[in-house]
Amino acid sequence: MKARKILAISLVTLLSGLNSYAEDGYRLWLRYAPVQEPAHREYIGGILDHVVVGIPGSTAEAIGEEIKKASLGMLGAPASCAGEFSDRASLVIGTPGACKILDNDVMKEQLEGLGSEGFFIGYASYEGKEYLTVAANEPAGALYGTFHLLRELQAGSVLTALPVKEVPRIQYRLLNHWDNLDRTVERGYAGFSIWDWHKLPVYINPRYVDYARANASIGINGTVVTNVNANALVLSPRYIEKVAALADVFRPYGLKVYLTARFSAPIELGGLSTADPLVPEVRAWWSDKVNEIYAAIPDFGGFLVKANSEGQPGPQNYGRSHADGANMLAEAVAPHGGIVMWRAFVYSAEIEEDRAKQAYNEFVPYDGKFHENVFIQVKNGAIDFQPREPFHPLFGAMPETALAPEFQITQEYLGQATHLVYMAPLFKECLDADTYMPHEGATVARIIDGSLNGRDRSAMAGVSNIGTDRNWTGHPFGQSNWYAYGRLAWDHRLTSEQLAGEWIRLTFGTDPALLETIREIMLVSREAAVNYMTPLGLHHIMGVNHHYGPGPWVNRGRPDWTSVYYHKADSLGIGFDRTASGSDALSQYAPEIEEKYSDPETCPEEYLLWFHHLPWDYTMKSGRSLWEELCLKYDDGVKTVTRMKASWKQVEGRIDQERFDRTLMLLRIQETEARWWRNACLLYFQQYSGMPFPVEIEQPEGDLEEYMRLNFPYAPGIRPRW
């Protein structure tokens, strides 16, 4: 009896152990969970019964493996996959060149305009029979089509509206890792870097393959594996070999490797006395270096450069311009088809000008001066990945230059890997913003995808939130931001709602009640964070250095790294006057925007204190005073998190306990910290407003001095001192 009981217990433990292992988040949105619903099982079984993969090269194997993984997971048995066509085929994945049933004019016509990455899912007839196909011009397209199909099947959908044809709207869809060679990750909150440089090139962590699969499944086709605060060592022969090993793993998945180029590398590695981009020896050094890289990595993507920013070396050290620097590197990679992404995140404490204006001032004069294969990589806003920023004024201001937006997936200023903040609404807010440059309808999305100016090169970058944590992103919902970013780079017209829906189905299952509840939590989460951190256009009031938690009192050090520089709270009011009477940053926008935003009455309230310094008793649209509104917003942020937590509790029992518990614990921290933000900020600002807290809010508790004394020397992701 006793023995049987023990056996039963251990079986349960074993099973729940297996189950929890299975739902530890490692598999991301590629869980391929068993499909319970009989009709859908049968439907998937029909499609994955006998799959023919007729494409050239290593991608064929990647596709075959994925199909097998998917069918094993969803149906319990791996699909049979073959390279040769047979009339038993239930699904044919291929390119016309390598698959005879696709090698006909009808199919070629279907594939016209789909380029090298687009795909077609529909029927092809061959010898009087119709076959479901995923067809593409090139292997990469077939790969993306396969992932599209598997996504639909996993999400419980049936392919009703065929054919499906998709082409990515952005050509270079990149992740930027801020990973250092010592495996720390700048602004990384999910453990250490997944790149095990020490053991590369021989030891290939299986994670590298799963990383490539995950990226390919959402359409990401390039990865910058090193930090923009760069170390020249990665360009040395020993490291190039390591990078080449990664590139070999990624290649079948259509994922190219890029590196950050430290501008002073010719000195540090090459022993030259200068890195002046106009000196022939320097140019020759880069050109040789690039040839060396391409010899090891024939499909190397190119360089990402942070120059003359936050202490990084750059062409200005030699009196040269950003264009001189970028073009030198562009010339080196051009013969190999490589690109250069040159960051516009430049500002200096030496310059008196409003930090928000500096990048524009620096770059606009060089519009049209950059080589064809240069992208100027522009953060979504002019300060730095704040919870909310108006779109960067450079979008629209450089019509002769290819601009690539840089989003930050890692939540440096949004609660890091502790807070649940679904960021698609933030990405969309920027992409959908109308720049009015040169006319209404010139959205950021249309500028960067090239459609506005008929440019055929386009790029998008997202700063990765990936680390060695078992679930990749620390917070289980951090995965949704990686997912949404990739999908938006593929098609920026997708909505936040759609993407949340897709991700939830793939991540938690297809239960409709679950979908509603979790989607609602996700969709309110970003606005909640804005409200409990920086409502009404406030910005850059976080803790110093680690950027975690509130710090509106930060007033020491470089002025542009303080908080008081940005909120300018005093007894008269609060906010940064960026109208003509202040820094005049508004003049960098189109006249339509300048006019509308210059008047506090017509300026969208979410940007009010970004552009205006207003008295505490200024009357808001609600009729309340600015002070009251600010208090209510902070309080609303907290209340929303409380509601998010309550809603999350409703999903208990409908998803695995492991992810449920983990998320609940994090939501508890988030609720406490939302209060912390609200209390600390309101107590701080009250010193200046001198006004009471409105009665309808939960009264801020605690002692301001104590909040100010809190310090976090070991907060993760801190920027190393260079």
Which residues in this chain contact ligand GCW in the complex, by CB under 6 A?
178, 186-187, 228-229, 306, 310, 345, 384-385, 412, 719
Instruction: Supply the minimum distance, in Å, between the C-beta of residue 350 and ligand GCW.
Output: 18
Residue whose C-alpha is closest to residue 673's, from 629, 716, 626, 641: 641
In three-state secondary structure terms, 318 is helix
Residue whose C-alpha is closest to residue 540's, from 580, 587, 575: 575
306 versus 539: smaller Cβ distance to ligand GCW: 306
436 versus 548: smaller Cβ distance to ligand GCW: 548
Which residue out of 196, 241, 268, 310 is catalytically annotated?
A: 310
345 versus 360: smaller Cβ distance to ligand GCW: 345
Residues 576-610, buried b or exposed e (16+ Cβ, 10 A)? Answer: bbbbeebbbbbebbbeebbebbbebeebebbbbbb
Instruction: Supply the minimum distance, in Å, between the C-beta of residue 381 and ligand GCW.
Output: 11
Which residue out of 166, 412, 671, 673 is catalytically annotated?
A: 412
Q: How many CA atoms lie within 13 A of 487 on its CB side?
A: 24
27 versus 419: smaller Cβ distance to ligand GCW: 419
Query: How far is 464 from 349, CA to CA, in rounded Å?
Result: 27
Give 381's contacts (C-beta < 8 A, 6+ positions apart).
389, 390, 391, 392, 430
492 versus 546: smaller Cβ distance to ligand GCW: 546
In three-state secondary structure terms, 322 is helix
In three-state secondary structure terms, 517 is helix
3-state secondary structure 247-264: HHHHHHHCCEEEEECCCC
Instruction: Supply the minimum distance, in Å, between the C-beta of residue 713 and ligand GCW.
Output: 17
Instruction: Say if residues 34 and 41 touch (Cβ distance below 8 Å).
Output: no
74, amino acid identity: M
Query: How far is 716 from 28, CA to CA, in rounded Å?
Result: 23
Give 211's contacts (C-beta < 8 A, 6+ positions apart).
194, 466
455, amino acid identity: R
159 versus 718: smaller Cβ distance to ligand GCW: 718
413 versus 483: smaller Cβ distance to ligand GCW: 413
229 versus 480: smaller Cβ distance to ligand GCW: 229
Instruction: Supply the minimum distance, in Å, between the C-beta of residue 154 and ligand GCW.
Output: 35
Instruction: Supply the minimum distance, in Å, between the C-beta of residue 374 and ligand GCW.
Output: 18
551, amino acid identity: G
In three-state secondary structure terms, 201 is coil
Residue whose C-alpha is closest to residue 678's, from 541, 498, 525: 541
Q: Is 349 left (phi over 0), alpha (psi -120 to 50) or beta?
A: alpha
119, amino acid identity: F
Instruction: Supply the minimum distance, in Å, between the C-beta of residue 309 and ligand GCW.
Output: 6
Instruction: Supply the minimum distance, in Å, between the C-beta of residue 229 and ligand GCW.
Output: 5
Query: How far is 611 from 577, CA to CA, in rounded Å?
Result: 5
Instruction: Supply the minimum distance, in Å, between the C-beta of residue 359 and ligand GCW.
Output: 12
470 versus 558: smaller Cβ distance to ligand GCW: 558
Query: How far is 449 from 173, CA to CA, in rounded Å?
Result: 11
Residues 417/418/419/423 CA torsion (nearest 10 deg): 0
36, amino acid identity: Q
147 versus 178: smaller Cβ distance to ligand GCW: 178
3-state secondary structure 24-82: CCCCCCCCCCCCCCHHHHHHHHHHCCEEEEECCCCHHHHHHHHHHHHHHHHHCCCCEEE
β-sheet bridge partners, residue 459: 172
Kindly state the tokens that stand for 542: 């976080």
Query: How far is 219 from 117, CA to CA, in rounded Å?
Result: 9
Check if 384 is active-site: yes
Q: Which residue is nearest to ligand GCW (CB)?
A: 719
In three-state secondary structure terms, 618 is coil
Q: Can you say whether the dihedral through the CA atoms of 174, 115, 29, 431 is positive or negative?
A: positive
The position carrying tokens 């590196």 is 259
Instruction: Supply the minimum distance, in Å, between the C-beta of residue 345 and ligand GCW.
Output: 5
395 versus 634: smaller Cβ distance to ligand GCW: 395
3-state secondary structure 389-441: CCCCCCCCCCCCCCEEEEEECCCCCCCCCCCCCCCHHHHHHHHCCECCCCCCC
Which H or E run contains 304? strand 302-305
Chain centroid to CA 300: 21
Which residue out of 276, 384, 406, 629 is catalytically annotated?
A: 384
Residue whose C-alpha is closest to residue 682's, from 672, 692, 668: 692
Check if 527 is active-site: no
457 versus 719: smaller Cβ distance to ligand GCW: 719
Instruction: Say if residues 383 and 406 touch (Cβ distance below 8 Å).
Output: no
377 versus 640: smaller Cβ distance to ligand GCW: 377
Instruction: Supply the minimum distance, in Å, between the C-beta of residue 310 and ligand GCW.
Output: 6
187, amino acid identity: R
Kindly state the tokens that stand for 484: 């949404």
Instruction: Supply the minimum distance, in Å, between the C-beta of residue 718 and ligand GCW.
Output: 8
Instruction: Supply the minimum distance, in Å, between the C-beta of residue 190 and ligand GCW.
Output: 16
Instruction: Supply the minimum distance, in Å, between the C-beta of residue 426 and ligand GCW.
Output: 14
Residues designated as active site? 310, 384, 412
